[in-house]
Amino acid sequence: MVPVPRSERRPAPHALLLAAAALAALTPLAILAIDRPVARLLAAYEPSEVWAEGVKLLEQVIGLPLHPLVVSFTLVGAMLVAMAVPRLRAYAPALMFLAGTHMLARYVTGPLKDLTGRLRPSEWLARGGGDTFFRDGIAFPSGHVTLFAGLAIPIAILWPRARPVLAAAVFVAAARIAVGAHFVSDALSGFALVALVAWVVGLGVRPLTAPRP
C-alpha cells in the first residue's frame, strides 16, 4: 500500500467544530436549568443494574481493568508499527488521528477536573443540594465520556460504517448520569471537549483521503 501524500488528504470534518461549539453552548444552559432538577429526580429512584453493568462491560472491552492507559499504549503501538512498516504506512495518519484525539482529550480532562472542582450529583445532594456545586470535586467534564467518546468519535470519522460505535459513548454518558455519578452538563462538556480536540488534531494530521474527481 502506497502512503497517501499530505496534499491529497483532508482534515477532519468542519462539522466537528460546529458540534463542539453547540455542545459547549448547551453546557452552561444545562448547569443553570437542567442539572439540579435532573439530579434530584434521579436520586429518588434506584437505578437499574443495566447502567452499571453495561459500563463495566464496555470497560472490559477496552481493557480498562488491566491498566488505565492500556488503550493509549495500544494505539501508540499500532501507530508506530504503521509508521515503521512501509506497506502499512498509508494507515499511519488515521492511527495518528485516533491516538492523538484519544490521548489529548484524556490528558486535558484531568486538569479541567481539578480546575472546575465540580461535585458529583451524589456528593452535591449529600451536602444538602445547595447553590454551589463547583467545589472540592472532580466531576467536570466526565472522564468516562472523554474516554469512550475519545475512541468513538475519531473511529466514526475515519470509518463511517462504524458510526454505530457512537452509541457506546452515548450509553456511557446516560449511565453515568443515571447512577448519580455525573450531571448532564458533565457529559455534554465531555463530548464538546472530544469534538474540539478531534478537530484540532485533524488540522495537523489530516487523516482523511480527499475524494478524487
Model confidence pLDDT, tens digit, residues 76-87: 999 999 999 999
Mean pLDDT of 181-203: 97
Q: Decide if 10 is inside a domain.
A: no
Q: Decide if 8 is inside a domain.
A: no
Backbone angles phi, psi at 66, to 5 degrees: -70, -45
> Cell 495518519 sits at which residue?
93
Q: Decide if 45 is inside a domain.
A: yes
Cα–Cα distances in Å, from 9 out to 18, 109, 199? 21, 29, 15
Among the ranges given (117-126, 127-136, 144-153), the one the predictor scored with the smallest mean pLDDT: 127-136
Task: Look at the chain and report how many structural domains it folds into.
Answer: 1
Give the domain range for residue 131: 18-208
**What pTM was estimated for this model as a whole?**
0.94
Q: CA-CA distance, 68 to 202, in Å (whole number)? A: 25
Residues 6+ apart with CB under 8 A from 12: 97, 154, 157, 198, 199, 201, 202, 203, 207, 208
